[in-house]
A and B are shown apart, each in its own frame.
Chain A
Amino acid sequence: MADYSVIKASSYVLAHTPDMVIHNGTTQTTEMVVNPDSDYLKELPGHLRSYEDCLSYIPNQAYIGNVTNDELRAVEFPYYDKKASEPLRDGKYGEIMPEDEFYGLMQICDVFDLVLLEKEFAASVKAKLSAWGMLKEEQLSVLDKNQWDEEALSKLVNEEHAEGLYLNFKLVGCVKRAHDVDVNLSAHTMLENIVSKTSSVQAILNLIRKTGTDPESIDYVIDCCEEACGDMNQRGGGNFAKAAAEVAGLVNATGSDTRGFCAGPAHAILNAASLVKAGTFKSVLVTAGGCTAKLGMNGKDHVRKGLPILEDCIAGFTVLITENDGVNPIIRNDIVGRHCVGTGSAPQNVIGSLVTDPLDRAGLKVTDVDKFAPELQNPDITKPAGAGDVPEANFKMIGALAVKRGDIERTELPAFIKEHGLVGWAPTQGHIPSGVPFMGPMRDMILEGRMSRGMVIGKGSLFLGRMTNLFDGVSFVVEANPGKTEEASGTAAPAVSEEQIKALIAQSMRDFAESLLK
């Protein structure tokens, strides 16, 4: 059997897009239809954050790797009224890109001339993206073709069903429709898909630059966002993975899309780990861009309670999974939890199937897992919206199940939650917070010897698609690398010698012969 695959690297990126909150977030676009004169829409612009405020938001700095979970835990809740001591654009795992550069990157990621930018705006963005240093000259030159002024762009938005791109409430570009009848190629859908692709590309480019990964070394890409690309004859035909790989220069890669609502990333990681372990590919990149629809999703509650709009960023991530190098943490794709069709929806059954069942099969207790990584939503966003502290609720459920099984005493529950849990920091972009934001920090903590075993848990609300009433989830264990096995390295000492195996076989044959004589 081949060796386990390893978590080689990961990246986490944000793009601050406050104008997209207004024009592309479904809470706001729905409000514009059902209640266009609402107080919420009037008050909303006053609650949008500046780029500087977005950088100084501590959970954002945690997402890109500049603030550890212990450091975030030490910050007094809530977070929105606190400032990071170092509001940096760049982090250990990625970056926070401003809206104007993101629009420029969108045009570079669009290969069908659907994204148009105002001429002077495009020129200013080109200079910034050139300084960004992650794009080739031929990619940057795409921005030179813009000859549009605001009047021409307005005409496209007002008369040709294009979706406007705004900066500080001013029209600076648009996304045209790709078909005059097909809703799957409408400007709305194209904008959503181009944004998803762009943030995926942003994450891949950050991974390449920050980890020194050779883009030509990647064999396969799996995209696990929650969008679908296709046309009226194949609505979810795909594929985001190869589209993003092309822009990012992964010339030796092909790929495909995996979906599972918020559980998508956990499914994708499992697929990637299995492809590598099977020897099908040596290097598989799991990637996902973010989602415009969820911008400002809880905005009404945030505005009502006097908070800034905290859901003002498109998010993306990548995780690179490769064959065993004897160093990086291994993905134990033999310790896997599954919420099956017959599992049921009671929380006990769900947590049992995802957490305790796979641990039982591996002879492990709940307390043998140093850290659990379920949904890691930032409670600063969810608590004011009445959804509570989602990560904490998950850790309480895992702890409560451990109490019911006798793994811990009930009095130990608060300590268990703190010791084996995390405080949430991830943006509420659906698939983004589902376990994977911890894969980067977990890799570091394992390599630094601060933990040896973690469990990533992805859960998804399949019923939202109206195809089933079921819920879904998968989980897997990550462990410190014990070193390569003989088969993988050809040098490490074998666990059982050839002589021992011969002796075992000889003993078995003797036992068998004796049993025949009885």
Chain B
Amino acid sequence: MDLENQRRVLEFSEQYGAENVVVLLGAAEGEAAGLAAETVTLGDPTWAGPLAGVSLGLSVFHICEPEVKAEIDPDVYDEQISMMEMVLDVDDICNEMNAIRDQL
């Protein structure tokens, strides 16, 4: 995850409390989604950014996961996300996200 984004996630979790922050990802690949999810939960696996060694344990989802989709107005989802849903390997992304969450 981009170092600047790591810094912003860290600041938000300090400002609002980790239990009040949900991270919503839009990564196009399962692996990239998993890495970002790992960064905001267990810590930066690359040990390069502000979240290196910092386990925030934040709630994290990908926009294409069914739990998130169920929360969004179907018309808005169709307009904003449906095309990408057709393009992405949603199963792979969900598997990666679940694998990270299972470690918490």
Contacts and interface: CB of A to CB of B under 8 A. Distances in A.
| A, B in one complex | yes
Interface stretch (B11-19, B24-32, B66-74): B24-32
Given A386-B35, A387-B29, A30 B87 contact: no
B103 interface: no
B104 interface: no
B99 interface: no
B18 to A, nearest CB: 25
A397 B87 contact: yes
Interface residues of A, number: 21
Interface of B (DSSP majority class): helix
A300 interface: yes
**Secondary structure of the A side of the interface?**
helix
Given A30-B48, A34-B48, A348-B79, A386 B31 contact: yes
* B28, B32, B79, most chain A CB atoms within 10 A: B28
Which of B81, B82, B87 has the most C-beta atoms of chain A within 10 angstroms of its own C-beta? B87
Contacts of A396: 86-87
A386 B84 contact: no
Contacts of B95: none
Given A346-B80, A404-B82, A386 B32 contact: yes
A351 B84 CA distance: 11
Interface string A268-303: 000000000000000000000000000000001000
Interface of B: 28-29, 31-32, 35, 46-48, 79-84, 86-87
23 contacts: A30-B48, A34-B48, A300-B46, A346-B80, A347-B83, A347-B84, A348-B79, A348-B82, A348-B83, A386-B29, A386-B32, A386-B35, A387-B28, A388-B28, A388-B29, A396-B86, A396-B87, A397-B83, A397-B84, A400-B83, A400-B86, A404-B82, A410-B86
Interface of A: 30-31, 34-35, 300, 346-348, 351, 386-388, 393, 396-397, 400-401, 403-404, 410, 413
